[in-house]
Amino acid sequence: MTKELIKGNTAVAEAALRAGLEAYFGYPITPQTELLEHLSARMPELGRAFVQAESELGAINMVYGAACTGKRVMTSSSSPGVSLMMEGLSYIAGTEVPMVLVDVVRGGPGLGNIAPAQGDYNQIVHGGGHGDYRLIVLAPASVQEAVDLTALAFDLAEKYRTITTIMMDGSIGQMMEPAELPPFQPLKEEIPAWAVRGAKDGEKRVLTSINLDPPTQEVMNLRLMTTWQKIEANEVRWKGYHLDDAEYVVVGFGTAGRIALSAVRAAREQGIKVGLLRPITLAPFPAEILDELTEKVKAFLVVEMNTGQMLEDVRLAVRGRKPVEFFGRMGGVVPFPDEVLTEIRRLATEPQTTAGHPRDRWLARLTETIG
């Protein structure tokens, strides 16, 4: 296979198509629109369903219906559009039908701006829709990884009858990198036993998220949690850089993770033994490797393009045993590697504490810098 230079949004669209996407429903929003645009041309070419809905609400409910047939279905949007989809996502989770959501996150809250950000971590990773459900969240840091995770997203969604979200930020959507696209998978012929087919005189199958009887609902909640435990046991993914002899570890996902990689390399050149842990699954979260690293290293630095959302998950894994510091830029501002390098140097040269909250210290420093 040869590589081609391709934009993140387009690459995810083409990868979804090749993974056997049979129906897409969406609504345009920057910085995600190329994804929808690419599918608007390619899906009809292949005789598959593409609908630009009247709104994100329409799109997610069309996804809900299509997902009930057991076909591979997807929608994509960016932050404010994903907020509009939350009711439908909860219904889909409550019905236990598989789907893939792509969220190309932009600056917020509110209408915000179209620049790259990671401010939707809490919304996507820790909930969003109402009710007691969890979903798998994949966070690519490059175009190739976005391609690879797209096929995986469909497989995981089907395997666990769950929503899989690919959460990337605007820069991965807009960036071009060489990537190798996978070959076309044949479309699924087998209809899952739970799917509705509209078949006359067949066995009656009901897919719904309404459960008026609390004990029945509780059994369903229990089943969701049991499934989640399997997901936690089997599907954690992360990538480590220079971790073997690391005394300090930077933790960052997506674009923040690769920016941190530049800083980690620069710090290594200055003789600081620092490594990078880049979570690829944000849910399930790579807590176990963090637990292992806690035993070995002196301190952690969490880098995000938000005010410290994954930070809380890292702190839960580290449990106060080692100092955890934080650095973030937000609102669509992307940190440069030298800013992260400064923080790594601070970590390695200044006394660290497990007392207080790292967010407070970061805010005090940042307020001095940007007023």
Which residues are near other proteins by CB under 8 A? 3, 5, 30-31, 113-115, 170-171, 174-178, 255, 258-265, 334, 336-338
Rank residues 170 and 284 by Cβ distance to other proteins and give the closer one: 170
* Residue 335 C-beta: closest distance to other proteins, Å: 8
**CA–CA separation, 280 vs 268, rounded Å?**
23
Minimum distance, C-beta of residue 292 to other proteins, in the bound complex (Å) = 24
Minimum separation from the CB atom of position 280 to other proteins (A): 15
Whose tokens are 């997901």? That residue is 231
Beta bridge partners of 248: 274, 299
Q: Residue 246 Cβ, how far from other proteins at the closest point, in Å?
A: 16
Helix (H, G, I), strand (E, B) or coil at 26: strand
Whose Cβ is closer to other proteins: residue 265's or residue 298's?
265
Closest separation in Å from C-beta 340 to other proteins: 9
Q: Which two tokens mark 206?
A: 């009901």
Residue 7 pairs in a beta bridge with 176
Shortest Å, Cβ 4 to other proteins: 8
Tell me phi and psi for residue 123, to 5 degrees: -60, -45
Residue 61 or 171 with smaller CB distance to other proteins = 171
Cβ closest to other proteins, residue 4 vs residue 312: 4
Q: How far is the CB of 294 from other proteins (least distance, A)?
A: 25
- Burial code (b: 16+ CB inside 10 Å, e: under 16) for 154-184 equals bebbbbbbbbbbbbbbbbbbbbebebebeee
Secondary structure of 124-135 as H, E, C letters: HHCCCCCCCCCC
Helices (H) and strands (E) in the chain, counts: 14, 14
Give min distance, CB of 159 to other proteins, in A: 29
Q: In the bound complex, what is the minimum distance in angstroms from residue 115's beta carbon to other proteins? A: 6
Tell me the two tokens of residue 44. Answer: 């009809």
CB nearer other proteins, residue 211 or residue 262: 262
The residue among 131 and 178 lying less far from other proteins, judged by its C-beta, is 178
CA distance 31 to 24: 18
DSSP reduced 3-state for 248: strand
Q: Which residues pair with 104 in a beta bridge?
A: 168
Residue with tokens 């995986």, as numbered in its chain: 152
CB of 31 or CB of 286, closer to other proteins: 31
The burial of 370, by beta-carbon neighbours within 10 Å (0-12 exposed, 13-18 middle, 19 or more buried), is given as exposed
Q: Distance (Å, rounded) from C-alpha 335 to C-alpha 259?
A: 8
Q: For residue 161, how many C-alpha atoms fall within 13 Å in the half-sphere facing its CB? A: 18
Q: Sheet containing 163-169: give its strands across.
A: 49-52, 23-26, 73-77, 99-105, 163-169, 136-138, 281-283
Q: How far is the CB of 332 from other proteins (least distance, A)?
A: 8
User: Are the beta carbons of 240 and 296 closer than 8 angstroms?
Assistant: no
Closer by beta carbon to other proteins, 172 or else 324? 172
Of 94 and 140, CB closest to other proteins? 140
Look up residue 297 and give its DSSP letter: -
